[in-house]
Amino acid sequence: MRKTKIICTIGPASDSYEMISKLCDEGMNVARINFSHGNHSEHKITMDKIKEVRDKKILPIPIMLDTKGPECRIGKLKNGSINLQKGQVYTFTEDEIIGDEEKVSVSYKGFTDNLKAGDKILVNNGLVVFLIKEIKNKSAICEVITGGEIKNHKSMSFPGKLISGEYLGEEDKKDILFGISEGVDFIAASFMSNADEAKSLRKFLDENGGKSIDIIAKIENSEGVKNIKKICEVADGIMIARGDLGVEIDYSKVPSVQKKILKICRRLGKRVIVATEMLESMITNIRPTRAEASDVANAIFDEATAVMLSGETAAGNYPELSVRAMSEIIFETEKMMNYSEIFNRTKYNINNNLDAISKSACEMAIDTKSSAIIINSISGNTARIISKFRNPVQVVGIAKDEKVYRKLAMCWGVLPIMKSSDEEFYDTFFKENVEPVDKIAIDRLGLRTGDRIVITGGYIEHGIGKTNMIMLETIK
């Protein structure tokens, strides 16, 4: 059973009921919706289809809302696009205008406040480069250093610069409130640079009915990289968003930064997602390049929680084949991983009782050659902590809350199973002649009579954060 999870971006190529169903069949674990495109009515239609598919297939597919974030984009151009030549003078302005061959508007008011002559502006994922010659009247007058085509609403980057302003803009607030009303499970927060921004998002969620929504901080600039540990103290997970990150910092540094973030998140027990251009060629081709296969495999070798497909599933010609290819690469790579050896040689920081019990459950499962660790997961926290130890034994998270059930789908190595009540779980292990968990284990995990399972949860004072029990049982 595959341990590393797959996130798929749902877009025009995949937003039909039939295609969402195919993505689930091929191995999608999380459905991501990018709010940089589309409107609420369109997103609601897509979300309703995802919910319908997951209900019909009885799958815990969580929905991740990816925010626009405090990004800068150029405005609308008269003919939709222009071609700029090296040496040409071009102006970016806060004025509300229709752009042409001489100037274009910018969506982010105050974008010039932290810029000066000599700074660079990058457009279209860094393919078109401008050197600022002068800041004047809320405009940046530039020389084109690297020419090329720019189109309506293309994103802008300012290498080495942090554009000031409130992190949560009005559009993001509206999108997040919509997400709360639609019951999304994760907010992927774009361009997060520091812990204060994470705190402001957490506060906004908590005050508006979104306490159960987890925050995934997208690291897309040098400030985010620098503040990664502090961000991890607030956020529930990290996404290494290599597209904008590779524009904001030198592309040659992206691989080492990726490894650094993965290592930090693993040590802190945080979910960590590797994203952007993982199987980019499959937007138009039926199979990935060897380099792309190696890229996905390296994320697995570095113990990423999840890997993400963006344009491959949102706008590509072969969405379901992309998921199948990624799943196959993960499966083959995981077969090469000696997770017992990794567990034994890794030095883990044990910060509290839950860490200690979770690590002990993993050790017991390995030492007794158990086939599964089964967790009574009221909040999902114990399952997430056990997941961080990357042990070789299949982990089953039994949840009674549907949101916990879905969020467990983005925990490395965890198979979520829905149960109806605490009492049912405890009756299973502490009353005679009751067999539901044994039956679940046999049906879902293919276990046989005589197989051992390790059980953990909070029995004596059971409740959220009350894990205090480990048991070793045998399938009868």
Question: What is the per-residue pLDDT across 102-111, written as a single tens digit (0 to 9) for each?
Answer: 999 998 888 8
At residue 449, the pLDDT reads: 83
Give the pLDDT band of residue 465 (cuts 50, 70, 90): low
At residue 460, the pLDDT reads: 43
The helix or strand, by DSSP H or E, that contains position 410, with its residue range, turns out to be: none
For the question of whether the overall pTM of this predicted structure is more than 0.95, the answer is no
Query: Comparing 186 with 380, which gets the higher pLDDT?
Result: 186
- Which residues are identified as catalytic? 32, 73, 218, 276
Question: What is the per-residue pLDDT across 173-204, written as a single tens digit (0 to 9) for each?
Answer: 999 999 999 999 999 999 999 999 999 999 99
Per-residue CA distances from 373 to 37, 340, 359, 392, 433 (Å): 41, 14, 12, 10, 21
Q: Which pair of tokens denotes residue 45?
A: 């239609």
Q: Which pair of tokens denotes residue 81?
A: 């696009």
Question: What is the per-residue pLDDT across 338-373, written as a single tens digit (0 to 9) for each?
Answer: 999 989 888 787 888 888 999 999 999 999 999 999
| DSSP letter, residue 310 | S
At residue 433, the pLDDT reads: 47
* Contact yes or no for 318/288 (Cβ under 8 A): no
Tell me which of 10-14, 379-383, 444-448 is least confident.
Answer: 444-448
Q: Which pair of tokens denotes residue 232?
A: 């991890």
Phi first, then psi, for residue 155 (nearest 5°) are -75, 155
